[in-house]
Amino acid sequence: MTSPPAPPGPTAPGRHQRSDPTPRPTLASRGRDVLGDRLFRYLCLAAGCAVLATLVLILLSTLQQSWPALRESGLGFLTDSAWIPNDPDGPGPRKATFGALAFIYGSLVVSAIALVFAVPVAVAIALFLTQVAHRRLRGPAVTVIDLLAAIPSVVFGLWGILVVAPALAPVYDGIHGALGGIPGLGSLFGEPVSTGRGYMTAGLILAIMIVPIITSLAREVFTTVPAADMQAAYALGATRWEMIKGAVLPHSFGGLVGAVMLGLGRALGETIAVALVIGGSVQVTANLFASGDALPAVIVNQFGESGPLHRASLIGLGVVLFVITVLINVAARFLVRRAEIRMRGAAA
């Protein structure tokens, strides 16, 4: 075997016959160079495979560490809503119970609130940037979104716990007073916590945090819409909004779903901001103004003061979180990629 497929040049021997008698320079590869090339190639390959190795190691090591707790709790780990790390009555009949249902529920509720607020705003911003904004306005607008993405999550958390939560508590009171009496709907807007720290505050802070990621992905999706379709819509006399409805949105639907799912993955995994503003209580309730807890938040809040089984259970929560986010991400990337491929096919 000579060398990995290289661009034609140094390794390809001259084919045509030469007439002059001077000896031809040797263009063949020397052993040392081939070795260097191969080494570099393997070095790069190893670096690429580091990603795969890390992902596998994450799953294996955390699973192994949390195995005692998962075996102890069994399926109840996912279906039990009681999370009692310490027996409150001392060594009595009630033993420590670890059920993550309340945290899974909390994560889902908070992420759902975040998506409800963030998706329309993010899609509208992306439409504005790609279809409406003048080129001169686009730069500053993109900067605003990027800066929002650059602010560390702990700063959002700090702002949330010291400024937003106290400011929102009376607002929640007002909404509870106005809507709390309606049967059905009222259970969503129940008695708020006095500190304002709960699902709703966490969801709102998360919404601000995931707007930039959904916006940037949605922008990419919108730019793949074939220009011919858009011009055709205009040629038929559509207004800009009718063009967006008829040409842009139908083409981008799959990609948008992917973008939203990536936002969901980010929201589920966000730790610090949520940990600061969600309130930290173990319950499953429909009341959006109540305090609760989410998977990453409970890990970070309880890890410091935990016994062996408790700690193993917290790492088990990490495994659950890892599996959920990886599945969501894989599905989302698949959707985005499929949408992109279809768009390119249509444009060609």
Partner 1 sequence: MTVAPPRPTAPLDLTRAALPATRRWRNTVATGGMVAALALAAVPLALICYQVLLKGAGSISWEFLTEDIPNSARRAGGGIAPAIVGTLVITGTAALLAIPLGVLGAVYLNEYGKSGPLAKFIRTMADVMTGVPSIVMGLFIYVIMVIPLQQQSGLAGALALACLMLPVVIRSTEEVLRLVPDDLRQASAALGARRWYTIVTVVLPAAVSGITSGAMLAVARAAGETAPLIFTTGIVYQSNWSLSGANTALPALIFKNASEPFAAANGRAWGAAITLVVLVLAATVIARLISGRFAVKDR
Q: Which of residues 246-265 bind partner 1 (CB under 8 A)?
A: 262, 265
Closer residue to partner 1, CB minimum distance, 176 or 340: 340
Closer residue to partner 1, CB minimum distance, 157 or 254: 157
128-147 residues in contact with partner 1 (CB under 8 A) are 128, 132, 141, 144-147
The conformational region for residue 90 under phi > 0 = left, psi -120 to 50 = alpha, else beta, is left
Q: Which two tokens stand for residue 111?
A: 């992420």
Is residue 163 at the binding interface for partner 1, with CB under 8 A as the rule? yes
How far apart are CB 74 and partner 1 at their closest, in Å?
21
Q: How far is CA 300 from CA 75, 185, 314, in A?
A: 23, 33, 9
> Is residue 209 a contact partner of residue 115, using CB atoms and an 8 Å limit?
no
Site track for partner 1 across 22-61, x = CB under 8 A: -----x-x---x--xx-xxx-xxxxxxxxxx-xx-xx--x
| The one-letter amino acid at 57 | L
Closer residue to partner 1, CB minimum distance, 146 or 191: 146
How far apart are CB 305 and partner 1 at their closest, in Å?
12
Is residue 227 at the binding interface for partner 1, with CB under 8 A as the rule? no
Is residue 279 helix, strand or coil?
Answer: strand
Tokens 């497929």 identify what position?
5
Is residue 292 helix, strand or coil?
Answer: strand
Closer residue to partner 1, CB minimum distance, 98 or 180: 98
Q: How far is CA 246 from CA 56, 179, 234, in A?
A: 44, 37, 10
N-term to C-term CA, the chain:
40
Nearest to 292 by CA among 277, 301, 279, 276: 279
55-94 residues in contact with partner 1 (CB under 8 A) are 55, 57-58, 61-62, 64-65
174-213 residues in contact with partner 1 (CB under 8 A) are 208, 211
> Is residue 97 a contact partner of residue 80, using CB atoms and an 8 Å limit?
yes
How far apart are CB 31 and partner 1 at their closest, in Å?
12
297-326 residues in contact with partner 1 (CB under 8 A) are 299-300, 303-304, 315, 318, 321-322, 325-326
105-124 residues in contact with partner 1 (CB under 8 A) are 120-122, 124
